[in-house]
Structure 1
Amino acid sequence: MSIVNEFEKIPTTCISDTMQGLNNLDPAIKPLKDEYRVAGRAFTVKMPVGDNLVVLKAIREANPGDVLVIDAKGDTYRAIAGDFIVGLAQTLGIRGIIVDGAVRDIQGIRELDYPVFCKGTTVAASGKAGMGESNVPISCGGTAVHPGDIVVGDADGVVIIPQAAEQELLKESLEKLDKDIKRAEKVSGKREEVIKYLDDFLLK
């Protein structure tokens, strides 16, 4: 099983905890549906505000299984894409789109049942002057993202796992998840265990 698939099973909250919350995207970047979850290698996009031609270029260049991570400078007035462009990405096997910005045609995108994470929706389209860069280091939602980093998103938000540390972070995340599960099982529905846990925690 690939390391991406391993990370896909782990909640973003757990992954974030192993990195002390340092590689989380802006919490305003959320999925269009709470049930959306995505994990894949980042194919990065740096676009000027209101010019999305580079997004089309990235869709053409990205590999199946990649996740588009788009730095749109946080702009929520002009959409980086609508349902037609998002549908192109889906057809070419891109796993999802994460953007520090907005999309439009929200009903159409939801009908695609395809993971899109963004700051919101708008009615205004972008132009296509042709500026921007793809597959370069970017800052998205206040976090550095390099091509090939693993990106994981769910209802709580989006985290970036730096490629150089991914094996160690996977190990730590799995250990944290196991610890969290055992802790919950120990106290679930047990009044005395809950009181003991709280007392132990508060007396540290």
Structure 2
Amino acid sequence: MTDHPLTPDTKAKLEQVSVATLATALYKRGLRNQVIQDVRPVAPKGRNMVGPAFTLRYMPAREDRNQLVEFRNPDHPQRKAIETCPPGHVMVMDSRKSATAASAGDILITRLMMRGGAGVVTDGGFRDAMNIAGLEMPAYHSRPSSPTNLTTNEAIDINVPIGCGDAPVFPGDIVVGDDDSVIILPAHLAEELANEAMEMTAYEDFALEQVKNGAPIIGLYPATKEESLEKFAAWRKENDR
């Protein structure tokens, strides 16, 4: 687990910035592959999902090990992960980028929510997705998937480093999801990324307002003209940003 806990101040800031803005801030630091590819909200929530990562890893299923009787085992890793994910954390599942079989269904995801989970992400799919869409807790997947996970995947490891949609995820990394996508922030960078993204968001809001008012993009975005920076300073003061 990380020794860089998510502070309330950093969490509040990350709830106000987009995944795209955070991706640019990471790009400046040479990190280019932190966005989880090919996942989307099961249903848009109009707010950000933010929390430390708690992981579950699937491997290809071997048929003799993956019969329905496995679900009777109280230590089955999928069930155990749902019951041990700490409140406030986001469960991130490495489902081998396969939605051929479901990563979980609405009963397990509802249990995760009732235990205080901040969200759930899989690079596979959920069964009962229409019910998960109605939950208050944010959920992200590739597409709806009805077959049980036992069909092609075996839950094998809890809270270990994983890959999810080609992004590296270490336990305790900070997961941020908006209505577009999900990004993984290395825990030790979360505070500085949150601060920088807040600054970037202020300028982006200003620039978008200028464009809507008819301003050309050259010199405005990015801000290569001193005039743009002067206008931004005045806008910021006027809007208390």
Q: Provide the rounded CA distance (Å) in 1 between the counterparts of 2:220 and 2:202.
A: 20
1:5 and 2:12 aligned: yes
Determine if contact 1:4/1:150 at 8 Å carries over to the other structure: no
Distance change (3 Å), C-alpha of 1:35 and 1:180: same
Q: Provide the rounded CA distance (Å) in 2 between the counterparts of 1:96 and 1:200.
A: 36
1:176 and 2:200 aligned: yes
| Aligned sequence identity (%) | 26
After superposition, give the CA deviation of every residue in 1:21-55 in whole Å (9 maximum; x if it has no partner): 431110x1000112363111100111224569422
**Unaligned stretches of 5+ residues in structure 1:** none
Q: TM-score, normalised by structure 2?
A: 0.74
Q: Provide the rounded CA distance (Å) in 1 between the counterparts of 2:58 and 2:126.
A: 14
1:15 and 2:3 aligned: no
1:108 and 2:131 aligned: yes
Q: Provide the rounded CA distance (Å) in 1 between the counterparts of 2:205 and 2:220.
A: 18
4+ long deviations beyond 6 Å = 199-202
> Which segment drifts farther, 43-52 or 105-114?
43-52
Cα deviation, residue 112, structure 1: 2.3
Larger radius of gyration: 2
Distance change (3 Å), C-alpha of 1:133 and 1:35: same
**Structure 1 residue aligned with 2:164:** 140
**Structure 2 residue aligned with 1:31:** 41
Determine if contact 2:78/2:155 at 8 Å carries over to the other structure: no
Q: Match of 2:52, as an amino acid?
A: R
Q: Provide the rounded CA distance (Å) in 1 between the counterparts of 2:109 and 2:156.
A: 18
Q: Secondary structure at the match of 1:112?
A: coil
Q: 1:45 aligns with which of 56, 67, 70?
A: 56
The alignment covers a number of residue pairs equal to 198
Cα RMSD over matched residues? Answer: 2.4
Determine if contact 2:119/2:138 at 8 Å carries over to the other structure: yes
Q: TM-score, normalised by structure 1?
A: 0.87
Q: 2:218 aligns with which of 165, 180, 198?
A: 198
After superposition, give the CA deviation of every residue in 1:81-134 in whole Å (9 maximum; x if it has no partner): 111111110110111110010111122212323311001112201229975111
**Structure 1 residue aligned with 2:110:** 87
